[in-house]
Structure 1
Amino acid sequence: MPIKPLTDQVVTVCFAPGEDADWFSASEKAERLLNVTGTTPSRRYHVRHRRFIGWITCFFTYYLLDTARKFGAITKAAGGRKGRLDLNGAAAAAATEARLRWHAWNQYMNSTPATARPARLWEDFLAQHQADPTKITLNEARRRFHAQPRVIAMLASAGVHEFDPYELAAYQAGEHAYAGLHWRIAIVGDLLITAEGKVLKAASDNMADRLVFLNQAIKYLRSLKSSARLCAVTIA
């Protein structure tokens, strides 16, 4: 995957007990630790509603940050108390969507002999450029990557699903790997700031590095108590 512009990145901010846990505080922490200016709340979390009394709690915003509603009921939030955020639901929804997209991609790629053959990853071409920038420029490396039949087909897709050629490593790794990548992203985003003020991020855009980071971030989130506060922000 190509390096995402910093302005497109979603940061999950965790708060320490007793710390102000609002969007302003999350924005301030992200800006200070990442040396950026300006963030906006990202309503990416599904909201959990208690069984039996969910028809009451779905209208109240307690322990939630920057909520979105549908027909008056709260459906998503930028953050809040971990116990009120349906992280498992968000992961399941993202995994289902990713599996559907992968199956559509797999069927599309196997429609012709040329696209059925695996393609070289963007990371391979990027490594060639980095090894000798005077021999292969970045634009030439990208041109060679895009010139492959499978990548051309992905760029030309115009159906229900769009296939990102820079996710080729995940697509070619199989359905489970592709879905696993996306359900983790749905919960974590691109970076995570721990309650202790440590920034967790991938060492590179290589799929393996991304998964190492995402697994570390997921493990950290699971270690937090249900009373812990989270907030997702997008670098604006």
Structure 2
Amino acid sequence: MPTPTPTPTAAQVVTVCFAPGEDADWFAASEKVNDLLEANGTPARRYHVRHRRLIGWLTRFFGYYLLDAARRFGAVTRAAGGRKSRLDLTGTAARAAHHAGLRWRAWNTFINATTRPARPWEDHLAHHLADPTTVTWAEARRRFEQQPQVLAMLAHSFDPYELSVYRAGEAAYVGLHWRIALVGDALITTDGRLLMPASASAADRLRFLNEACSYVRALRPDARLCAVAIA
């Protein structure tokens, strides 16, 4: 059995897409995830709900065309999915981008400016994969995490396994996270295809996210999405 790694090689949030008119309830989404990933999950309330300018004062209190909606003061605010036209995908991405920008600037101020640059996890993982008998997975992880910059990131609750993306700059880091907010770590298309990164590298994650976001953007407004969180 392969040793698990703390990098994002396994899907944690899967976005399931349904064609217009297709049964799009929670049971159907769970079936698709189980068939393709052999995993069980729970609804992930990731999407902000869209409220139209004129009739939003009324429709905000109704959860039609939404899956597992959450309410605040009676109004629907978030959902695990639903009809694309009811989900505020732009707002969801904008909020994720805002928080990612705050994280990157904090990292740049308190970590990047005060510690020596560390070698990213991908370098240590490559050494392990090239010679696993000499550099075990545990040893590769130990060498990575003993670096002062990585220790500082752990101490301040930054994800050190995203170090390569942090070092790529604010735009790259923000771009990664607003895309993750929209499609998660994997996507199941309306025709049953599974899209996910080819590896845990930042480049492969961005390639997948670009493809998945383009796919979601091209869906009709009456198509449906459902975000599923799996262990």
For Structure 1 versus Structure 2, the TM-score category normalised by the shorter chain is: over 0.9
Partner of 1:171: 166
Query: Quick check: 1:140 aligned with 2:139?
Result: yes
Deviations 1:175-194 (A, max 9, x none): 00000000000000010000
Question: 2: CA distance between counterparts of 1:105 and 1:128?
Answer: 27
The code of the aligned residue for 2:201 comes to N
Match of 1:44 among 34, 46, 51: 46
Deviations 1:6-33 (A, max 9, x none): 5x71110001233211111001111111
Aligned pair 1:27/2:30, yes or no? Answer: yes
Q: Aligned partners of 2:110 and 2:136: how far apart in 1?
A: 31
The whole-number CA distance in structure 2 between the counterparts of 1:110 and 1:234 is: 32
Deviations 1:75-104 (A, max 9, x none): 000111000000110100000000001001
**Alpha-carbon offset, residue 64 of structure 1:** 0.7
Report how far residue 4 of structure 1 moved. 3.8
Q: Give the Cα separation in 2 of the matches to 1:31 and 1:111.
A: 45
CA contact (8 A) 2:176 2:206 kept: yes
Instruction: Report the alpha carbon displacement of residue 110 of structure 1 after superposing the two structures with TM.
Output: 4.4
Q: TM-score, normalised by structure 1?
A: 0.92
Structure 1 residue aligned with 2:188: 193
Partner of 2:68, secondary structure, is strand
Query: What are the superposed Cα offsets for residues 79-134 of structure 1, whole Å, 9 maximum, x if unpaired?
Result: 1100000011010000000000100110012443xx1x321110110110111111
1:41–1:232 contact (8 Å) kept in structure 2: yes
CA contact (8 A) 1:43 1:79 kept: yes
Shift of 1:5: 7.5
Identity rate, percent: 67
Partner of 1:17: 20
Q: How much has 1:156 moved relative to structure 2?
A: 1.6
Which of these residues, 3, 6, 16, is aligned with residue 7 of structure 2? 3
Q: Give the letter for the 1:50 counterpart.
A: R
Given that residues 49 and 88 in structure 2 are in contact (C-alpha distance below 8 angstroms), is that contact kept between their aligned partners in structure 1? yes
Q: Do the aligned partners of residues 18 and 141 (structure 1) sit closer, same or farther apart at CA in structure 2, a change above 3 Å counting?
A: same
Match of 2:207 in 1: 212
User: Who is 1:109 aligned against?
Assistant: 111
- The unaligned stretches of length 5 or more in structure 2 are none
Write out the 4+ residue segments of structure 1 that deviate beyond 4 Å after TM superposition. Answer: none
Compute the RMSD of aligned alpha carbons: 1.4
1:84-163 equivalence runs, <5 A:
84-112=86-114, 115=115, 117-157=116-156, 162-163=157-158
**Separation in 1, partners of 2:228, 2:112:** 39
| 1:153 to partner: Cα distance | 1.1
> How far apart are the structure 1 equivalents of 2:201 and 2:57?
44
Give SS of 1:75's match. Answer: strand
* Counterpart secondary structure, 2:27: helix
Show CA shifts across 1:195-223 (max 9, x none).
Answer: 01000000011000000000000000000
Q: Which residue of 2 aligns with 1:72?
A: 74
The answer (yes or no) to whether the contact 1:2–1:205 under 8 Å persists in 2 is no
